[in-house]
Amino acid sequence: MLFNSLHFLVFFPVMLGLYFALPARWRAPLLLGSSYYFYLSWKPLYGLLLAGTTLLDYYSGVRMSQLASPAQRRPWLYLSLASNLGTLFIFKYFNFFSEAAVGLAAALHVPVAAPTLALALPVGVSFYTFQSVAYIVDVYQGKLAAEQHLGRFALFVAFWPQLVAGPIERGAQMLPQLRQRHDFDYGRVASGLRLMAWGMFKKVVIADRLALLANPVFDHPQRFEGLPLLLAVVAFTGQIYADFSGYTDLARGAARVLGYHLVLNFRQPYFAASVGDFWRRWHMSLSGWFRDYVYIPLGGSRAGKARTQLNVLIVFLLSGLWHGASWTFVAWGALHGGYLVLESLTAAARATLAQRLGLAARPRLHQALGTGLTLALVAFAWIFFRANNLPDAFYVATHLFSGWGQLPTAQLTAALAGLGRHFAAELAVAVGAVALLTFVDYHAECGSVAVWLAGWPAAGRWAGYAGLLLAMLYFGIFGSSQFIYFQF
């Protein structure tokens, strides 16, 4: 079920009405049932997969809690990891590695016929398996008490607001909330609904509109050069942020309405002053997961400079692969890893340069330059994330700045074709909506949007809500287009 579908528009109020109408002790079972309904509405068979891995992780956790030494717990850890990562490998990576092996063998002139699996990727599998892995590792390390209640653990894994695209929650953050009573609270519910409305606006007005600009170019990049390519890259840079942060707002808002707090996943990432800063603001729950369960176990920054840089590269290659079983994602991860290594290696030189240029004395200008440069680097990397294959990505990357001598009218017309006959109106709506997003993010960066909103007179606030909903109705692009991160 998609958040931007009619199905959800019926599901959510019905579920919410039942939730608050039922006695408190029935709310968690209702949430679990509705979570499975939410998931099964996509492909019922894969609900069994979710239930199976949940049962195994639950049992592994309980068994580990009964065993004293790490050596005794280890087989259960390995069993759970094998189940989660094995599921991920079979459904997401098997064909990728199989094809890579065949390609390698062909390069070595060894004829090999490797099998491929015709399996649809279960929605959200990358998210819920990572959440389960975090839980099981925390239990193994003794950082978290194993959840003894099967229903509660199943709800931790399947909680519908964040089941299919995160945020990736931790047991220590989420499990205590599942044990609490969640009653109706006007302020919290209203705040959750506001966040959901804002998330939906970002998705249907901004992301899906910018997609119409980016898609025609990325689908046939060789037909374009220069300005249309740049426009498409800029459009996708906006699209991916509005799409994923919009989804996260919807997820966090829905959870808040139900009385649950999900972790922050985005903190105005395009205001980041460096690539390192960007990764502390973008998909924070995934960055935190890789930090805690890959980077630190690899030695983190404790094993010397060279090893630290290698660890960073490994983490970002894996992060790229997590996003998709394709070389484009690997290249995207490698590029970000490279950025961070370069950023680290040039830190001293850049500080010296800033001193010499007088930027150190003008921190706001320094920050603005850093933000601009970071945004440009991040946008460049998105080329690899969005392109359909590596040759396309390299084409876009190498033709961004060619053909600027004359205005490519025919190419621009083709690039804008996705916006339809009213492309001028569509561009105006896109620019206006992105300006609103930037304005709101700026307020969030300076403090809190909630506090800022609270300062408005009530009539102005309600007019704002009405305006937001009407903007969605009139300017939204519907037709159940999927969130980008659902594919991961």
Catalytic residues: 323
DSSP string of 268-330?
A: -GGG-SSHHHHHTTSSHHHHHHHIIIIITTTTTTSS-HHHHHHHHHHHHHHHHHHH-SSHHHH
Residue count of the chain: 488
Minimum distance, C-beta of residue 477 to another protein, in the bound complex (Å) = 6
Q: How far is the CB of 465 from another protein (least distance, A)?
A: 6
Instruction: Tell me how far, at minimum, the Cβ of 244 lies from another protein, in Å.
Output: 22
Handedness of CA 22, 24, 25, 31 (dihedral sign): positive
| DSSP code at position 118 | -
Q: Compare residues 8 and 247 and give the one whose CB is closer to another protein.
A: 8
* Residue 193 to residue 249: CA distance in whole angstroms: 10
Dig out the tokens for 189 from the structure.
């519910």
Query: To which H or E segment does residue 203 belong?
Result: none
Those residues with Cβ within 8 angstroms of residue 424's Cβ, 6 or more apart along the chain or in another chain: none
How far apart (Å, rounded) are the C-alpha atoms in residues 430 and 436?
Answer: 10
Measured CA to CA, the distance from residue 97 to residue 453 in angstroms comes to 50
DSSP state of 406: S
Contact 146, 62 (CB under 8 A): yes
Least separation in angstroms between residue 184's CB and another protein is 5
Q: Residue 356 or residue 421: which is nearer to another protein going by CB? A: 421
Q: Which residues have a Cβ under 8 Å from the Cβ of 9 and sit 6 or more positions away?
A: none
Q: Which residue has 């891995």 as its token pair?
A: 53
Structure tokens at 60: 């592994």
C-beta closer to another protein: residue 289 or 475: 475
307 vs 461, which CB is nearer to another protein?
A: 461
Which residue ranges make up the site for another protein (CB under 8 A)? 6, 20, 118, 184, 186, 189-190, 193, 209, 420-422, 425-426, 429, 462, 465-466, 469-470, 473-480
**Residue 34 and residue 245: Cα distance in Å, rounded?**
24
Distance of closest approach, residue 466 Cβ to another protein, in angstroms: 6
CB 424, min distance to another protein, A: 11
The smaller minimum CB distance to another protein, of residues 16 and 165, is found at 16
Evaluate whether 64 touches 77 at the Cβ level (below 8 Å): yes
Angstrom distance (rounded) from CA 72 to CA 47: 31
- What are the tokens at 482? 């999927």
> Between 439 and 478, whose beta carbon lies closer to another protein?
478
Identity of the residue, 21 or 360, whose beta carbon is nearer to another protein in the bound complex: 21
Least distance between another protein and beta carbon 205 (Å): 8
